[in-house]
Structure 1
Amino acid sequence: MTNNIGNDVVIYKVTDNSDDPLNPKPGTLRYAMTHIKGKIWVTFEQNMKIRLQKPLLVSSFTTIDGRGARVNIAGGACLMLQRVTNVIIHGLRIHHCKAQTASTVMGPDKKIVNVGAVDGDAIRMVTSSKIWIDHNTLYESEDGLIDVTRGSTNITISNNWFRTQNKVMLLGHDDGYLRDKNMKVTVAFNYFGPNCTQRMPRVRHGYAHVVNNVYKGWGNYAIGGSMNPSIKSQANYFYAPKDGKKEVTWKKESGVVGEVAGNFQSVEDVFANGACFNGSGSGRGSVKPNYSPEQAFPVEDGHKVKDLTRNAGALKCSSTC
């Protein structure tokens, strides 16, 4: 995310937790997204709870950095990344997000934008790229916690704590949206649970590298997909629920005789308490991450992932950590 740093970054501190979707006040988070041009690094003056009245459209080349304060975005609308690039969301607690009817809001560059109805996701990405969602705590929202949709790609979701949620993470808009075949998402170093039911993640069409995560149980399944996705599950720690389904995966069959429902591969995963993985497809070689040398990272042994994810979620530290 080198485009988010440099001498031309504007440092902006949120001092006011109020929200006005059409006329945001200076000092508010929405004012930063609508009135500040170029690269922006947002911090928070103190602990605060922000109840967004309408979805917040995050601008390109933006870092929202919650370190040094306890920042909750909760009880109303939440974050939408729509046709943007180079965005970092770090250190926030996003929860109890509510569905919203169609509305009009001020967006980046002070443009008035008509936003359709939203289902109540914590972070929704639409036709966006180069996004890093890192060290956030997300839970108890009306629909899902993270959606990656409509051609979004080059997304990293790392070091987050997901808990108390039915539908956790959706990668791919719907079965008919073929542009999501180009989607690439890395899901790494996250802690799922307790009380997560499904979609950790659920993938349509595209590619997901799911690596070094802890799964503390699940309801219906942990990793699922449809429309022939490619999923590499690598060195994760799967701890199956005491009662209920032990199977990690779920696949929506195509209905075509002899056609598999995607390429699901497990490599060096650790299975505890009876967990099992039903793989499918053409083998490990076809699901290698297509990382550049700058993007590649070391993968830890699956037995050590519980320690690796010990600090998943919003960090409790000063702004210098």
Structure 2
Amino acid sequence: MASSCFLTLALAIALTTTTLLLCPTTTLAKRSEELNVIDSCWRWDPHWHKHRDHLASCSVGFAGKMLNNMGGGVTQYKVTDPSDDALNPQPGTLRYGVTQVKGKVWITFRKDMKIKLEKPLLLSGFTAIDGRGADVDIIGGACITVQKVNNVIIHGLRIHNCKSQPAGDVMGPDGNIQHLGPVDGDAIRVVSASKVWLDHNTLYSCQDGLIDVTLGSSNVTISNNWFRDQNKVMLLGHDDEYVRDRNMKVTVVFNRFGPNCRQRMPRVRHGYAHVVNNLYQGWGLYAIGGSMNPSVTSQANLFIAPEGKKEVTWKKNYQDGMSRWNFKSVKDVFENGACFDETTGGDDSGVDQHYTREEAFPVADAKSLTSLTKGSGVLKCSERSRC
């Protein structure tokens, strides 16, 4: 077992705290500004609002390119009404767009709005929700579920203060009424779904967690989001007994965690997570953790330790399955005494991402992450200028 925790006392004293702004900057992109590989794909375009679906060609990681969400045959749907009816959604509402419009749909918003969902919002496959150009809050009620579908993009939403919900009926994909069991109050739930891209959202203060990827979901990319003010942030893998999650593959890239995130950034069960080029502004219990012998490659992240809690990782029941654990740190940067306990199980076979050509992307130097993640979360976009 190799561990970066074993710093000499002199080196630990030499490490100093880096002070960062608590709010990611979301100013308009300028040519002098350094953008990450996803943002540089579309944010330089001053006419982005005329080419909205070009965004779908910019995703990286295990979701791959979202090319099925663009081009011919896509219905453009604009949300004009912030109200919600879980069983009889009206034209112009968000729920109508994600359940009643047949085929591929690209959803935008006519104006700023706050939407309180009566019941979880069940998305159809081949759906893109694009909040650019409006301030859109999903707030104070139920939130979003991506269940048993594929080819879904969620971009540019503020999702916060989500509440648990009792069991009940709700309008689902293709206009079918579905019965849902109780939900815990997560911002976004990805359940038995694949090819899902969650990008440039701001998520905080939900009753349970912010993002769950569970029950056999895979090929998910979580990028450019801002997570703050939350105990449990991100869960990858349903529970210790659900072995189907061994096939789960998730990329977590260019996100900003903090301030005031306590744990699960992410917590991984069974499957594989590539956690790369993220900025961690402290943690409470831990930053990256897991159980049931998951594989995690932590690559070129910037970890800024809080006072009194320096260890990045947490491993439930590690000693019971230590020969199969894979937690690997590659070119991470550790500040304020942060340290990472590697456990590779005697080989590296479980810690290689093996991206296809359309999934692969260049990994940035961790020292550049303050710049590359400063636009994390919802961007301030205008049709008169670049995002």
Residue 286 of structure 1, CA deviation: 3.6
Matched-pair contact (CA < 8 Å) for 1:254–1:261: no
Task: Give the alignment partner of residue 234 of structure 2, picking from 169, 177, 192.
Answer: 169
Q: Equivalent residue of 2:322, what SS?
A: coil
Q: Deviations over 1:121-168 (max 9, x none)?
A: 000011000000000000000000000000000000000000000000
Q: Deviations over 1:26-83 (max 9, x none)?
A: 1000001111010000000000000001000011000000000000000000000110
What residue is the counterpart of 1:224 in the other structure?
Answer: 289
What residue is the counterpart of 1:42 in the other structure?
Answer: 107
Matched-pair contact (CA < 8 Å) for 1:154–1:183: yes
Deviates more, 1:100-109 or 1:278-287: 278-287
Q: How does 1:297-308 map to 2 (within 5 A)?
A: 297-308=361-372
What residue is the counterpart of 1:313 in the other structure?
Answer: 377
Q: Deviations over 1:73-103 (max 9, x none)?
A: 0000000011010000000000000000001
Q: Deviations over 1:270-310 (max 9, x none)?
A: 00000000010235454111210111000000111111001
Higher helix share: 2
Task: Give the alignment partner of residue 265 of structure 2, picking from 172, 179, 200.
Answer: 200
2-structure distance, mates of 1:79, 1:45: 20
1-structure distance, mates of 2:268, 2:381: 34
Q: Deviations over 1:187-228 (max 9, x none)?
A: 000000000000000000000000000000000000001000
1-structure distance, mates of 2:382, 2:153: 18
> Residue 105 in 1 paired to residue 170 in 2?
yes
Task: Give the alignment partner of residue 314 of structure 2, picking from 250, 272, 279.
Answer: 250
Q: How does 1:284-295 map to 2 (within 5 A)?
A: 284=348, 286-295=350-359
With the length of structure 1 as denominator, give the TM-score of the two structures.
Answer: 0.97
What code does the residue aligned with 1:279 have?
Answer: E
1-structure distance, mates of 2:176, 2:257: 37
Task: Give the alignment partner of residue 332 of structure 2, picking from 250, 264, 269.
Answer: 269
CA RMSD of aligned residues (A): 1.1
What residue is the counterpart of 1:184 in the other structure?
Answer: 249
What residue is the counterpart of 1:211 in the other structure?
Answer: 276
2-structure distance, mates of 1:204, 1:244: 27
What code does the residue aligned with 1:166 have?
Answer: N
2-structure distance, mates of 1:285, 1:106: 43
Matched-pair contact (CA < 8 Å) for 2:84–2:117: yes
2-structure distance, mates of 1:306, 1:269: 14
Matched-pair contact (CA < 8 Å) for 2:212–2:236: yes
- Aligned residues: percent identity? 66
Larger radius of gyration between Structure 1 and Structure 2: 2
Task: Give the alignment partner of residue 123 of structure 1, picking from 165, 170, 188.
Answer: 188
> Residue 92 in 1 paired to residue 157 in 2?
yes
Q: Equivalent residue of 1:305, what SS?
A: helix
What code does the residue aligned with 2:373 have?
Answer: T
What residue is the counterpart of 1:52 in the other structure?
Answer: 117
What residue is the counterpart of 2:303 in the other structure?
Answer: 238
Residue 3 of structure 1, CA deviation: 0.3
With the length of structure 2 as denominator, give the TM-score of the two structures.
Answer: 0.81
2-structure distance, mates of 1:150, 1:179: 7
Residue 311 of structure 1, CA deviation: 0.3
Q: Deviations over 1:216-252 (max 9, x none)?
A: 00000000010000000000000000x2210000001
2-structure distance, mates of 1:299, 1:145: 25
Q: Equivalent residue of 1:31, what SS?
A: helix
Q: Which has the higher contact order (CA 8 A, sep 6+)?
A: 2
Matched-pair contact (CA < 8 Å) for 1:213–1:309: yes
What code does the residue aligned with 1:122 have?
Answer: A
The runs of 4+ residues in structure 1 deviating greater than 4 Å are none
Q: Deviations over 1:7-30 (max 9, x none)?
A: 100000000000000011110000
Deviates more, 1:29-38 or 1:183-192: 29-38
Task: Give the alignment partner of residue 28 of structure 1, picking from 67, 82, 93.
Answer: 93
Q: Equivalent residue of 1:181, what SS?
A: helix
2-structure distance, mates of 1:219, 1:261: 27
Which consecutive unaligned segments of at least 5 residues does structure 2 have? 1-65
> Residue 14 in 1 paired to residue 62 in 2?
no
1-structure distance, mates of 2:323, 2:216: 24
Higher strand share: 1
1-structure distance, mates of 2:350, 2:120: 38
Matched-pair contact (CA < 8 Å) for 2:318–2:325: no
Q: Equivalent residue of 2:178, what SS?
A: strand
2-structure distance, mates of 1:12, 1:201: 33
Task: Give the alignment partner of residue 69 of structure 1, picking from 127, 134, 152.
Answer: 134
Residue 262 of structure 1, CA deviation: 1.7
